[in-house]
Amino acid sequence: MAAALARFLCLNGDAAKASPLPTTDDALPSTTERADVSSRRAEPHDGRVGAGDWSGLLEPLDEDLRAELLKYGDLAQATYDGFDGRHWSPYCGTCLHGLRRLLPALGLAGHGYVATAFVYATCEGKIPRWLHGEAWDGHANWIGYVAVAGAAEARRLRYRDVLVAWRGTIAPNEWAMDMRTRMVPFEVDAGVDRGAKVARGFHSIYTSRNDEIKHGERSAREQVAGELARVVGHFRGRGEAVRVTVTGHSLGGALALLAARDAAAAHPGVPVAAVTFSAPRVGNRAFCEGLASRGVRVLRVVVRHDVVPLVPSVPRVVVDAPVSKALAKLWALTGRPPSWAYVHSGDELRLDVRKSRFLKHAYDVVGFHDLETCLHLLDGHESAAGPFRSGASRDVALVNKTTGMLRGKERIPAWWYGPANKGLVRNTLGRWVVAEREHDDLPVPDDRLPLSELD
């Protein structure tokens, strides 16, 4: 979304900023300890039903809930760190790592999840050639993954958590789709979803398919649905308690809500929660009511000055700012937005950049929207009125992975996260070439982890 333009501009410049490579395997992104929550209600599935669902846990923010949210934030960040966005790479648009190696390679093995399937997405229609590099032309892009809590994490949570993590905007064709805000129907069940509509661009990324391109024979929607059916069916068949959590940042947060709605419809009786970071509005009132009626719990983590959660407001047919402001006042008076207006789902946890002594407070549209900035603020948040938490332990250097938000006194360079020599290595002849991937990291269509490996 807001960061997408900056990432796009880097494609033909310093591409290391747009397509970072992981550092060492043991470079854990956070030192936050997660408590055993098997005996209490401090995680995304266990909020109270009804208005103010999260009020008892958000103000002040429950410590165990904060740790769970940071965990999901790290797992969402993996979709950025694992993406090969180097336009000179023969595997541009895929995941840098193989299915089994993704989370360990990014230092996330300690989070207790195992990736079971990758998710790829394509877009409908033609994208202007100047908006994409040659390597992105003709195939789908890796946009997320499905993972399952291992035995130890399942015991800690008291259920088998099935995670779907979605990436935000990186590829230029996705950036173009973000701009398509005309509403289209999204009715899974006409009896429940009558009148439900969502942004056309998000819907296209989620549902488009193309039999002629690699990894594009099934839509992202179909890939996730198939994997959830396999994994949920496996563990429910063994008598285990199963829950589904979808997460994502920016565009990934929008796709998470679409997937959450589908998961709840396909698996009645399985609790579904969506934890999104800096996500835009996705659909109209009927779409949001469809989520609530299916029992999907939605928690949105946003940064106060980030513009992305404010859009879209109305479809592009209403573009005049004074008209939009007048409509907003009318909605506030009636308390019920019209069916053609975009609205948010669920509850919101709002973070404030000004509370952190580590961050610059000058306006930075990219920095405010960055996921690592959001996670830094989340680690330090206790309450709306309270100061930055003294016990915050997340490494502040992570903020500058793909931004310049840290103050100069922290001595951390901006946009530092990238491969040595932009991924080039010397071959046996002494020439600089793109490093070959190891066999286990090569993209494999329809690769899925045998569930017996999780036993």
Element (H, E) at 379: helix 371-380
Beta bridge partners of 147: 115, 163
**Dihedral pair phi/psi, residue 246, rounded to 5°:** -115, 140
Bin 98: left if φ > 0, else alpha if -120 < ψ < 50, else beta: beta
Mean pLDDT in the chain? 85
∠ CA 417-423-429, nearest 5°, is: 155
Q: When comparing pLDDT for 32 and 11, which is higher?
A: 32
pLDDT value at position 8? 33
pLDDT value at position 66? 97
**pLDDT (tens digit per residue) in 337-387:** 677 789 999 999 999 999 999 999 999 999 999 999 999 999 999 999 999
How many CA atoms lie less than 13 Å away from 406 in the CB half-sphere? 19
Coil/strand/helix, residue 172: helix
Annotated catalytic residue within 97, 132, 369, 381: 369
pLDDT average, residue stretch 24-34: 49
Quote the CA–CA distance of 392 and 251 in Å, as a whole number: 28
Annotated catalytic residue within 89, 204, 208, 250: 250
Torsion of CA 117, 346, 43, 380, to 10 degrees: 100
Quote the CA–CA distance of 431 and 447 in Å, as a whole number: 34
Q: Amino acid identity, residue 231?
A: V
pLDDT value at position 24? 37
Annotated catalytic residue within 74, 306, 370, 379: 306
379 is catalytic: no
**pLDDT (tens digit per residue) in 173-217:** 888 888 888 999 997 776 778 899 999 999 999 999 988 777 888
pLDDT value at position 114? 97
Structure tokens at 28: 């854990």
369 is catalytic: yes
pLDDT average, residue stretch 307-319: 72
**pLDDT (tens digit per residue) in 373-424:** 999 999 999 999 999 999 999 999 999 999 999 999 999 999 999 889 999 9
pLDDT tier, 18 (very low <50, low <70, confident <90, very high otherwise):
very low
Beta strand extents in 78-169 (DSSP E only):
113-121, 141-149, 160-166
CATH code, 359: 3.40.50.1820
pLDDT value at position 218? 94
Q: Give every strand in the sheet of 160-166, ordered side by side.
A: 113-121, 141-149, 160-166, 242-249, 272-277, 297-303, 347-351
306 is catalytic: yes
Beta strand extents in 305-410 (DSSP E only):
347-351
In 3D, which of 141, 108, 132 has the Cα closest to residue 443? 141
Count: domains in the chain: 1
Quote the CA–CA distance of 311 and 334 in Å, as a whole number: 21
Q: Which domain holds residue 104?
A: 2-454
**pLDDT (tens digit per residue) in 115-161:** 999 999 987 655 555 445 555 556 789 999 999 999 999 999 999 99
pLDDT value at position 203? 95
pLDDT value at position 126? 58
**pLDDT (tens digit per residue) in 64-108:** 999 999 999 999 999 999 999 988 898 999 999 999 999 999 999
Rg for the chain, CA atoms, rounded:
21
